[in-house]
Structure 1
Amino acid sequence: MTDKSGSNSTNQSTVAAFAILEEMARRGEPSRVTDLANDLGMPRARIYRYLQTLVSLGYVRQDPVTERYRLTLKLFHLGQAIADATQLTSVARPVMAALRDRVGQTVTLSLPEDIGMRVMDIVRIETPVQIVTRPGALLSFFTSAQGKLALAWGKAETRTLAQKGPNPARLAEEIIRARTLGWAIAPEEALPGVNAISAPVFDIEGRFAATITIVGSVQDITPEPAEALVAAVTQAAREISADLGCMEYPI
């Protein structure tokens, strides 16, 4: 590959960094700066700078003895996370559609991240007033039904965040309630006039993986939601968990 110049230095840097990663993956063995420079047609000094950046980001490691560079598993884990999310969405979509038709409410699928719950998919119900949440939206751990489940069932680091919320005592009660009942609500907490009932999804190893949620107006989903709505969303969560290989639903 030849090193091509262009007008956008940021884009050049991005292209060069990915070219180095791809070449290292192709080689499949620890590489010297000189080897990469020759293969990519780039100056050794430039290759070295990019490698140092990739080392600092955790994508590349330098052997202190041989001084050769190799890829770490960080890229693998990123790819695995994307694959897992894609699989989860594919598995959940038919269950979400069936849940929407059963309860007549919009249904969402959300995945946990370090700073909140990310909405990955939405199956909407056509109503005069539409829920404005979109795929990609990030929901707070403290003011969403999905977030409360993450605080109740998520990673240890996530659970400790409950003490940093706006009302730790009340939040602690809601987390206990969520773990006891297996679902959570958030009437008018994320959006005015909107309530949600959310249930946790678990993966093949019994780990908290996602939430499935029905979302609607507080007139349709009251602060004390109807038993039929709760039963529908918790059953959907169990179905998705089973499809992911969860042999024994934890709740």
Structure 2
Amino acid sequence: MAVELDKSANQSTQMAFLIVEVMAEIGKPVALSDLARRIGASKVRVFRFLRTLLSMGYVLQDPETERYRLSYKLYHLGQALADSTDILREARPVMVALRDLTGFTVSFSQMEAGGMRILDMVRSQQPVEIVTRPGALLDFHASAQGKIALAFGGARLAETLRAWTGETHVDPAQLTTEVAAVQARGWAEAPNETLQGVTAVSAPVYDMTGAFVATLTIAGPTFIIGTPPEPRFVQALTDAARRLSTNLGNTDQRT
């Protein structure tokens, strides 16, 4: 039976997800002809989408039977989403307490291949507006979060380093020295590097295995946080990151 696609939306995207959903519903390796019949589309069209899903690692094909099945990549994505949701649930009260203690906007970010993704924020009223929003992807080299990832998460610098402001560090040698300092002291700063007048200070968060999983960050006016940041702000941040790590089962207290 043919499935009616929404003509007001991207039909290629709909078809790709429909194939994945139908394969998940079938729950076992399926032949191209059976899959096309189930969806109500031509074998040629379904085959085209299957080849794309194969190239991306979401679908596998048995070389002997030529049947298709879903890979575990989708499972890992779902698990990562579930883990992130659990972490955010633990992070939120810690973030609120840190915001109330310091008066600064607090954000929670996790590492992706291209940078640090902000997943949640607790905002505070400051003379300088923090324009970053949840969902933003921050460069490794130009953010406090990214420098933590470079120091503790195995992140790598991009080949081209964009200067967001006149104070963004784009010299790889300088960044290497800075990352070594971050590793030694356990926190990172990015004064005026993404946005002029705004300083961010980040600390790492670890899970029960001791693996780096996220950053906790305060951000506010540079003239209030200071350069270098005032010790009381750094202490409040690192204490909060340590508390969140403990809540996630970490016991080595590296933060």
Please give the TM-score of this superposition, normalised by the length of structure 1.
0.91
Per the alignment, residue 4 of structure 1 pairs with 4
Matched, 1:205 2:204: no
Aligned residue number for residue 75 of structure 1: 74
Q: How does 1:1-251 map to 2 (within 5 A)?
A: 1-4=1-4, 7=7, 11-155=10-154, 158-159=155-156, 161=157, 166-251=170-255
Percent identity of the aligned residues? 51
**In 2: Cα distance, 1:2 partner to 1:163 partner:** 47
Structure with the largest fraction of helix? 1
Which residue type is aligned with residue 16 of structure 2? A
Q: Is the 8 A contact 1:206 1:249 kept in 2?
A: no
Give, in whole Å, the separation in 2 of the partners of 1:14 and 1:153.
Answer: 36
**TM-score of the aligned structures, taking structure 2 as reference length:** 0.90
Distance in 1 of aligned mates of 2:6 and 2:104: 51
5+ residue gaps, structure 1, are none
How many equivalent residue pairs? 247
Cα distance in 2 for residues equivalent to 1:236 and 1:180: 19
For 1:151-170, what per-residue CA distance to the aligned partner results, in whole angstroms no more than 9, with x for missing partners?
10113xx24x2887521222
For residues 106 and 7 of structure 1, what CA distance do their matches in structure 2 show? 42
- Aligned partners of 2:218 and 2:123: how far apart in 1? 10
- Identify if the C-alpha distance between structure 1 residues 176 and 5 changes in structure 2 by more than 3 Å, giving closer, same or farther: closer
Aligned to 2:166: none
- Closer, same or farther: CA 131–13 of 1 in aligned 2, 3 Å: closer
Segment drifting more, 25-34 vs 59-68: 25-34
Could you say if the C-alpha distance between residues 71 and 109 of structure 1 is closer, same or farther in structure 2, counting changes exceeding 3 Å?
same
Matched-pair contact (CA < 8 Å) for 1:97–1:123 = yes
**CA distance in 2 between partners of 1:172 and 1:163 (Å):** 14
Superposed CA offset, 1:128-174 (max 9, x none): 4321111112211112111111110113xx24x28875212221121
Q: Judge which range, 49-58 or 60-69, deviates more.
A: 49-58
Unaligned 5+ segments in structure 2 are 162-169
Deviations 1:31-58 (A, max 9, x none): 1112212322222332222222211221
Equivalent position of 2:164 in the other structure: none
**DSSP 3-state at the match of 2:51:** helix
Give the conservation status (yes or no) of the 8 Å contact 1:162–1:171.
no
Letter in 2 for 1:58: G
Distance in 2 separating the partners of 1:128 and 1:170 = 31
Shift of 1:191: 1.1
Q: Cα–Cα, structure 1 residues 162 and 19, in superposed 2: closer, same or farther, change >3 Å?
A: closer
C-alpha contact 1:194 1:215 (8 A) present in aligned 2: yes
Cα deviation digits, residues 149-206 of structure 1 (max 9, x gap): 1110113xx24x2887521222112111111111011111111111121100112221
Letter in 1 for 2:250: C
- Secondary structure of the 1:213 match is strand
